[in-house]
Amino acid sequence: MSASDDTTITHEARGEGGRYIAEVAGEEQTGHLDWEPAGEGIRIATHTIVPKEIGGRGIAAQLVDRLIADAREHGFKIVPQCWYVAKKFDKNPDWADLRA
């Protein structure tokens, strides 16, 4: 899934959880958003990390947007443990139905 013309967001399983990875064209550094399971149909968003080398481009927001899109598509709810994900939930009241 392409997040923008120069950023691609992919998802990979990691143990019981997973990681969304943001790759920016022409850059070695990647950003990521990690999640862990918390029961059936619930994912805890634990960390969102974007290295300073690719910061300031909206990468973290694109990672959260992908998590939200997947939650809507696959029917899971999110515990926004990560401060950045919690902040995005607060700024987007239309996501309230996805908050666990």
Total tally of structural domains belonging to the chain: 1
The parent domain of residue 14 ranges over 7-98
Tens of pLDDT, residue by residue over 18-73, are: 999 999 999 999 999 999 999 899 999 999 999 999 999 999 999 999 999 999 99
Q: Domain containing 81 — which CATH number? A: 3.40.630.30
In a domain? residue 72: yes
In a domain? residue 75: yes
In a domain? residue 2: no
In a domain? residue 49: yes
Question: What confidence tier does 99 reach under pLDDT thresholds 50, 70, 90?
Answer: very high
In a domain? residue 1: no
* pLDDT number for residue 100: 96
pLDDT at 15 over 70: yes
User: E strand or H helix at 68, and its extent?
Assistant: helix 59-74
9 touches 66 (CB < 8 A) = yes
In a domain? residue 71: yes
In a domain? residue 89: yes
In a domain? residue 20: yes
Q: What global pTM score does this model have?
A: 0.93
Cβ contacts of 86 within 8 Å, gap of 6 or more: 80
Q: What is the Cα–Cα distance from 50 to 56, expressed in whole angstroms?
A: 9
